[in-house]
Amino acid sequence: MGSRREVEGWLEAGRIKLNGKVASPGDQAGEGDHLALDGKVIHLDAAMMPERRVLIYHKPVGEMTTRKDPEGRPTIFDQLPRLDRGRWVSVGRLDFNTSGLMILTTDGQLAARLMHPSRRLVREYAVRLRGELSPEAVEKLTTGVRLEDGPARFEEILDGGGRGQNHWYHVILREGRYREVRRLFEAVGATVSRLIRVRYGPVELPSDLPRGKWRELKPGPVRALMDAAELVPEAPLAEAPTQSTGNPARAKKTRRKRPASPNPD
C-alpha cells in the first residue's frame, strides 16, 4: 500500500489503527486482527502476505541502486523479476561506479536487520589500485584513519597480487558508510581503479553469475541470512528460476594472500 517510509509517516501521523488503538512501529498484525487506515478496514489473510524471497544480483558498473534515477540512468530494479505481491528491497547500496554482490528480498524486516550497524556483518571487496600499498599505509588503514564522518578502518587487508601498475587487494570491514572503501584508500593517497563487492555476511558472489544477472537463493542460504539477522523464519521460503552463466568474478579465498582478480585489466 506504500513504501516503508510512507507507512512510517502514516504511523507517526496516527493514521493507522490496530484493534481500535493507534498503531506504533513494531506492532504486528495478522489474521484475526482489525487493521484500519484512515478509518478504512484492511482485511488481512494469508493470501495477502508476500512470500519471503531472497535473490542475489551481480551489479555492473553504470547502474543505480535506487528505484528511479532523476537523470534516467538504468537501475538494478530494471533487471529484477516482477512480483505479484510485495516489492524488492535492497540490502544496502553500491555506488554507480562499483560492481558486485547485491542482496534483495521481499522481507523488509530482514533487509533492515541485515543493514543495521549492530549486526556488524562482514562486507568484503576486491579492490584494484594503481600501484602497491606501502607497509605504513597498510598499518594505517587497519589501525584506523579519521574520515569526515568519523574514524574508520579495514578489519583485514589481503594482498591479491597484480602486474604493472594494477595491484589487487581484498579488504574486509563491518559497516557500510557512503563510499567508505574509496574514502579510506584516498586517505592514504591510494587511487582505486576498480571496486567489486564479493561478500555480504554469509553470502558470497558466485563465480559463475555474470554481471547484470540475478539468482534466487535456495532455502539453506536464506536461513543463514535469517540467522545472521537473528530472525525466526515465519513466511514461507520460495525459489524461482535462475539466470546463471558467465565469467568468474571472485578470487579464491585464502587467509593471508589472494590471487589476482580473474579480470586483472
Q: What is the pLDDT of residues 194-216, one digit of tens each?
A: 999 999 999 999 999 999 999 99
Domain ranges of the chain: 4-48, 54-229
The per-residue pLDDT for range 127-186, each reduced to its tens digit, is: 999 999 999 999 999 999 999 999 999 999 999 998 878 999 999 999 989 999 999 999
Confidence tier at 243 by pLDDT (50, 70, 90): low
CATH superfamily of domain region 54-229: Pseudouridine synthase (3.30.2350.10)
Q: Which residues contact 137 (CB under 8 A, 6 or more apart)?
A: 188, 189, 190
Say whether 98 sits in a helix, a strand or coil.
coil
Question: Domain 4-48 adopts which CATH fold?
Answer: 3.10.290
Residue 59 buriedness (CB in 10 A; 0-12 / 13-18 / 19+) = buried
Are the folds of 4-48 and 54-229 the same?
A: no
Q: What is the pTM of this model?
A: 0.74
Are the C-beta atoms of 37 and 31 separated by less than 8 Å? Answer: no
Helices marked H in 147-210 — which ranges? 180-187
Active site residues: 95
pLDDT, tens digit, 9 for 90 and up, residues 48-103: 666 789 999 999 999 999 988 899 999 999 999 998 878 899 999 999 999 999 99
